[in-house]
Amino acid sequence: MEKKISFIHCADLHLDSPFKGMSRLPAHLYQQLKRSTFDALDNLVALAINKNVDFILIVGDVFDESIQSVYAEMQFLMACQKLEQAGIEIYLSFGNHDYNQTKQRFVQFPDNVHLFDSDQVTSKVFKKNGKPLVAIHGFSYLERAVTINKTDQYQAVPNLPYQIAMLHGSIQQSKEHDHYAPFQLSDLINKPFDYWALGHIHKRAILSEDPPVVYSGNTQGRSVKEVGKKGCYFVSLDQSKKAQIHFEALHAIQFDQLTIDVRHCQQIDQLYQILSDQMKQLEKARRILFIKLINYQDALLSLYHQGKIADLIDVLNEQYQDQSDWLSIQQVTLTEQAKSIDTTLEARDPFMKELFQGFDSIDWDEVMSELWHHRKARRFLNGLTEEEKQQIAEEAKQLLRFQLTGNDTYED
């Protein structure tokens, strides 16, 4: 019996992500961005068929929200149907974003979809040429949070060549994410499993090679926190039990962050040339850029707060927005030198010290109350993320700093 298997490990498709805050994008590019999670799904289907894999593991958060649009559900259903026609099985679990799908769905999946519909770890057997070959273990979220360690529930099925586990969760010591289904790495590597397919963390990572303990990351970047290539892992296992693991890009649009030293830049045309040169050096692809300017001078700070750098970004974006491999600068920020300016002002005057420290304890509910309760505006607003609050506070500090340093070229 042929015991070699190949499969795709993916997670965190987040279909129908709204991509809030992408205000600089022209309407036609924004529509492409909203479509990008579905394009990544199409790329996943094409890859699976091209590689002729035995099955696909989808480890949680297929959808971005607990309640999905009909469009999102139908797009996923049609993807499953295409894979069924190609003879490819799908092993599916739901995570903390789409937990409602476990209990309430409005579509009937085709027979090639094997759903882990319990919050307890269960096992499903993949058969190849009619012979049982792989035990695949997993569970789905029934609520938004799963705070207990589930690893004790993973038990190997005897007399099968391969054991594969699906787990949507995070390492217990992680400081970057909420502790969903927390685990210790040792909990996993001490189990008699041939591959651990992880989801929830959007940055791909191989935590262990023997046995493989792998985060595939998400399939499409959605913000400055999710930069670079996004996709899945193509995995092959044979009787040697040595996994061959290859990353495959699926993203339709790439988010990138550039840090540019502008210590010698004094004028707007100089900045234009620097940014233009940087953009020309990038590999051809549809990209959304977040740019940090470091070691800036007072002249650049003045241009920034006069809105001239924002105008310059519009000029650059117009040059690329109609290309097939378009680029769009979403944000430019000034960083690094600000801290030294703060320190100088604080040392000079206790009032300045207290003023800048006040930005660390903003009562956002009070500050934003009038806007959140505005009769018309509130319908179009969502709560601020911590990242957005930090960004607003930093920009306010920069503006205040600019005014306090006495630069008389500033015009309100």
pLDDT at 34: 94
Give backbone dihedrals phi and psi of 334, rounded to 5 degrees, phi first.
-100, 130
Where do the domains of the chain lie, and which CATH numbers do they carry?
Answer: 5-249 (3.60.21.10), 255-405 (no CATH)
Element containing residue 117 per DSSP (H, E): none
The whole-angstrom separation of Cα 98 and Cα 119 is: 13
pLDDT at 315: 95
Question: Per-10-residue mean pLDDT for the chain, 412 residues long?
Answer: 87 91 85 96 98 97 82 95 98 87 75 94 95 96 89 95 96 69 93 96 95 97 94 94 94 96 93 95 94 91 91 94 94 71 60 73 74 59 68 71 53 32
Beta-carbon-side half-sphere exposure of residue 159 (alpha carbons within 13 Å): 2
169-171-174 Cα angle (round to 5): 115
The whole-angstrom separation of Cα 348 and Cα 356 is: 13
pLDDT at 360: 74
The whole-angstrom separation of Cα 17 and Cα 221 is: 10
Place of tokens 């997670």: 11
How many Cβ atoms sit within 10 Å of the Cβ of residue 31? 11
Residue of 298, 308, 294, 303 lying closest to 257 (CA atoms)? 294
